[in-house]
A and B are shown apart, each in its own frame.
Chain A
Amino acid sequence: MREAKKIGAEALAEKGWLTSHKWLILRRISQLVTLALFLVGPLAGLWIVKGNLAYSLTLNTLPLADPYVLLQSLLAGHIPEKMALIGVVIVLAFYFLVGGRVYCSWVCPVNMITDAAAWLRGRINIKGGAHISRKLRYWVLAMTLVLAAVTGTIAWELINPVSMLHRGLIFSIGMTWVIILAVFLLDLFVSANAWCGHVCPVGAFYSLLGKWSPLRVSAAQREACNDCMDCYAVCPEPQVIKPALKGAKQDIGPVILSPNCTNCGRCIDVCSKDVFHFGLRSAK
């Protein structure tokens, strides 16, 4: 009955399972290892990393701090101590280099939830849904910053599903699962990629941070594209692909420049023609 072919079927047939899932597997490993590093402390007493994504201390020496939370704290009128400042500089430098939204696809624990919703949406064939502007997230981002300044508190942290989930998993989950379930259902029924692609201000913040990052995905072999549309179907931000993939005539380079590309590499996996590669922004 289902006529729509499975996304990536061609790639699977041509490249084999492992190659056509390479980046997905690496990404899941990255997400799970990150989480595991935080978890072996409380679970096994092995304190490699202490804290959570807002701020963490690795091996009692390496501080890492979330620039978005600290920006809100700054706007709320607080200047942090040295450790948080060092941590934030390291994190800023890292995501500036590898792409801001690498945070989303390689680190953020909510990504596994929203990816699961997207997968299920495809499996049970839910189509369409509410129209939400992809710009909404930037409005939400602005709102959270204004609110920090107006209330003098880090207001967004009261309800931020990203930090709530991470903190919940590492400290104790309580009723956090209700909020995570809400995000899952939003993505499943209301609109595809609703949370990460439209609403989440954390992702929006990191996209701005990675606006000029050198590491990008490039549709280098775009002449080989056979218009199977699998990359569009699998990409959580499909609007970023078109200019690079189809821009040859308008003299647009093959590098995906939109900061909303999450550098997840799924387009590389599902393309049977090997159109996409990781490369540098400067590549032609």
Chain B
Amino acid sequence: MNDTNGKAPGARQASRRQFLIDMAKTACTVGLMGTGLGLYAKQAKALPPLAIRPPGALLEADFQGACIRCGLCVRDCPYNILELAKPEHDVATGTPYFVARNLPCEMCEDIPCVKACPTGALDHQLTDINKSKMGLAVLIDHETCLNFLGLRCDVCYRVCPVIDKAITLEMAPNLRTGKHTMFLPTVHSDHCTGCGKCEKSCVLEEAAIKVLPAKLAKGKLGYHYRLGWEEKTKAGKSLVAPDVEHQYTLPEGYKYEQGRGLIPGSSGESVAPGTQPGIPKALQGDKL
């Protein structure tokens, strides 16, 4: 009796010690696991630029907390463009995406992918597909785009479902030939949905126009920047200093008209009062 009484506290202590050690071990193992997984999760938050989320997808950081990887969006896409990421892909495992150059989004009017999403990872507020922002197309390579080379390809422009709003052809002089016009495909961010049809149909070996995540593609003005000409129209007058009539330094006997250039003959009209014609203004004192 005495014997066991003497032993029991010791044994109890030993088993308690063992219990604490076991617990510490478990906690450490799980802690390590958690840290590893946490770091991996952080890394997985970065979506590779060429993987595009379906229409209506929340911002990437929110999307990965909202999408439960059920694949309903994949199933309900009539064009089968979506795929759930496999573990070996560098998109977060199990989440849906598409690659525009393989299969672009066809911008279904009824947006079945969004309707199918049970969680709202694809935002149900999106009811007009033209308002979706899957990404932003960028004519990224001016050196190979055929239109930039002065030819008339226009394919990206023609296939755009939001043609003339999301993408326009802007005319510019072709300085190489000196007499032709270049029709430069130009994307407008307020209308481009990022569907990727332009990227898909670019005729080059590697597309010169690509859909990128808006965050990568868009610049941003400093918050304090104001565009003088816009402020001026808003205010109805110049806000800085009174506009000074533009003055030109011209060869004697010439006048200048915007658009027409130098006009020989009459002089005087475009010469500022009080300056001597023929002498560069910079040398005429501090009148300006």
Residue positions of A touching B, CB distance < 8 A:
41, 47, 50-52, 54-57, 63, 65-66, 69-70, 73, 76-81, 83-84, 87, 133, 135-136, 139-140, 142-143, 146-148, 150-159, 163-164, 167-168, 170-176, 178-179
| Cβ distance A130 to chain B, nearest Cβ, rounded Å | 11
Q: Are B72 and A151 in contact (CB under 8 A)?
A: no
**A164 with B94, Cβ < 8 A, contacts A73-B68, A80-B66 known:** yes
Q: Are B38 and A155 in contact (CB under 8 A)?
A: yes
Q: Are B119 and A158 in contact (CB under 8 A)?
A: no
18 extra interface residue pairs, beta carbon distance < 8 Å, beyond A55-B119, A171-B84: A50-B71, A52-B69, A76-B66, A78-B65, A78-B119, A81-B117, A87-B118, A139-B30, A153-B41, A153-B92, A154-B69, A156-B37, A158-B40, A164-B93, A167-B69, A172-B84, A175-B88, A179-B87
Query: Hey, which chain B residues are within 8 Å of A171, CB to CB?
Result: 71, 74, 83-84
Q: Are A147 and B34 in contact (CB under 8 A)?
A: yes
The CA of A29 and the CA of B64, in the complex, are separated in Å by 35
> Is B33 close to A, CB under 8 A?
yes
B residues 46-83 touching A (CB-CB < 8 Å):
61-62, 64-72, 74-76, 83
**A158 with B68, Cβ < 8 A, contacts A55-B118, A136-B30, A139-B27 known:** no
Instruction: Give B254-287 as 1s and 0s: 1 = Cβ < 8 Å from A's Cβ atoms.
Output: 0000000000000000000000000000000000
Q: Are A157 and B93 in contact (CB under 8 A)?
A: yes
- Other-chain residue from B33, B41, B117 in contact with A158 (beta carbon distance below 8 A): B41
B residues 7-65 touching A (CB-CB < 8 Å):
22, 26-27, 29-31, 33-34, 37-38, 40-42, 44-45, 61-62, 64-65
Of the A-B pairs whose beta carbons lie under 8 Å apart in the complex, a sample of 19, sorted by A's number, is A51-B72, A52-B70, A70-B68, A73-B65, A81-B124, A133-B26, A140-B33, A143-B33, A143-B34, A151-B41, A152-B65, A153-B61, A154-B65, A158-B41, A159-B37, A163-B69, A167-B94, A172-B84, A175-B86
In order of increasing CB-CB distance, the 9 nearest A-B pairs are A174-B86, A76-B65, A55-B70, A155-B41, A153-B64, A78-B66, A83-B118, A84-B118, A81-B120
| Cβ distance A109 to chain B, nearest Cβ, rounded Å | 15
Considering only CB atoms, which chain A residue lies closest to B30 in the complex? Answer: A139
| Cβ distance A183 to chain B, nearest Cβ, rounded Å | 13
**A143 with B30, Cβ < 8 A, contacts A52-B71, A78-B119, A174-B87 known:** yes
Query: Hey, which chain A residues are within 8 Å of B87, CB to CB?
Result: 159, 164, 174-176, 178-179
Q: Are A57 and B72 in contact (CB under 8 A)?
A: yes
Query: Hey, which chain A residues are within 8 Å of B41, CB to CB?
Result: 147, 151, 153, 155, 158
**A159 with B93, Cβ < 8 A, contacts A80-B66, A147-B38 known:** yes
The CA of A54 and the CA of B41, in the complex, are separated in Å by 19
**A65 with B117, Cβ < 8 A, contacts A41-B75, A139-B30, A164-B94 known:** no
